[in-house]
Structure 1
């Protein structure tokens, strides 16, 4: 296992906690959903053979506490957090960036706002639903999730969210309880603890984000859009595929589905390694 160091960075409205391992050019990993830095434990060590790998807990998640726990969230703030980390860890040199899900939305805003700081961005299934032909239906979904959360609580809101994001509205069958190793159990417990913040403030803010397609179209050599092989038809995959269509580029297939990072870590990490340095196909 690669040695890692942990640090903290004071930003506007929060204190970010981050982990760094490896040597070489900087690779910033931005987690999505309720994940934090630990979401990348399955791939970071392998990538650290080639890069200085930095991962962090987004503001409001896990160790990165908000000054005001009730503060509304904005994609631009999360993108600025990533920029501040780049300035700290790779001053003056463009860095490679990977973002997953909502983290990929923050990464897209980072790229369009600070294009000179990003050498290559791989964005895996950002749920940029505003680019979809049925964007009005997705806005209604976000409203239902928000209203359900406020009126009935977390579990019913998560059921509405899951039904709206999965293919054909299907909700997975409950799985039998699995006894996890202590480290994995602690990570799962933290993920659950982050759920109210994710549902109440990240989902409404991030799923209303409209990417700057015009600016992204001017950065064809810096952006790789990716989708899971097993998630075709699900809402995040539909959204990133639609964005790829608007930009006239191919969607790079990654192992697994929306959470392939967790279910197929070795294959996912190797695909990411190749995507970070491979030439982007002509558009």
Structure 2
């Protein structure tokens, strides 16, 4: 695979940074590997499994190399979807194939609902589309509490609550809401407040991603083939449950992928423990 070329792109309220690994001889459309707030560095291992086509990765607005320029304290799925459209237009206008994980899957679903002509196949892996769940009120309350904890007490306490949320198996109940706040130190997180409040997960996207109401009529009528992925070992965690709910609303069955929520992330990439080789083989078969 050719070495990635890094480019920047101006968007309203942000400067987007994206990487292109070109394959000029490929007859396949470009493959975008995206997430949110996880950035391009999480996809090095997975990108290496697709040397036969052009691969594009990017840092979503507010994360890593794509700073917000307007001082806004939240990023919305609509903004992220428009950013994806801009990146697609910058690399040829599509149609492209997209593998999108977590919040990136939420954003890519919004993109397809609005600009389905730009996407041939979307593999939406475990989108935390909590608005589609029966326990949506409890989940959104937990997300609000996480963000408020972060804004009040800092990264460690906020992230500890986030880990507790995404590790929980099954629907959220009143018993869950009554649990004592977890100790950040138990997760190896800092207990001191550094006064920084620019975390793209806890501050920018925590609520907007989970509360977004998807346009299922537009998704069902889009020309895009939509595949919803769920990790084989994810169990009944929040993003896996939400993924199954999205597939049900689309009238499809979810596709099982190796590992859990981050099954494509190798060690050293965002602290991942996944297997990008096995994940890439499953993704290739799904795209094929």
Partner of 1:240: 243
Pairs aligned (count)? 259
SS in 2 for 1:164: helix
The Cα shift of 1:247 comes to: 1.8
State the TM-score, normalizing by the size of structure 2.
Answer: 0.83
Q: 5+ unaligned residues in a row in structure 2: which ranges?
A: 170-175, 189-195, 266-273
Cα distance in 1, alignment partners of residues 224 and 112 from structure 2 = 12
The alpha-carbon deviation at position 79 of structure 1 amounts to 0.4
Q: Which residue of 1 aligns with 2:9?
A: 9
Once residues 198 and 133 of structure 2 are traced to their aligned partners in structure 1, the CA distance between those partners, rounded to angstroms, is 26
Q: Distance in 2 between matches of 1:36 and 1:235?
A: 21
Task: Select between 211-220 and 254-263 the one with higher mean Cα deviation.
Answer: 211-220
Q: Is the 8 A contact 1:148 1:157 kept in 2?
A: yes
Alignment match of 1:61 (pick from 50, 60, 63) = 63
Deviation at 1:56, TM superposition (A): 0.5
Give runs of aligned pairs for residues 1-283 of structure 1, distance below 5 A: 2-23=2-23, 24=26, 25-33=29-37, 35-49=38-52, 51-91=53-93, 93-168=94-169, 196-219=199-222, 222-262=225-265, 263-277=274-288
Deviation at 1:197, TM superposition (A): 2.5
Please state how far the C-alpha of 1:194 moved relative to its aligned partner: 9.8
Residue 70 (structure 1) shift: 3.7
> Which structure carries more helix by proportion?
1
> Partners in 2 of 1:228 and 1:194 — Cα distance?
31
CA 140–101 in structure 1, closer or farther in 2 if over 3 Å, else same: same
Partner of 1:31, secondary structure, is strand
Q: CA deviation at 1:43?
A: 1.2
CA RMSD of aligned residues (A): 2.4
Partners of 1:202 and 1:72 in 2: CA distance: 6
Corresponding residue number in structure 2 for 1:280: none
Residue 268 of structure 2 aligns with which residue? none
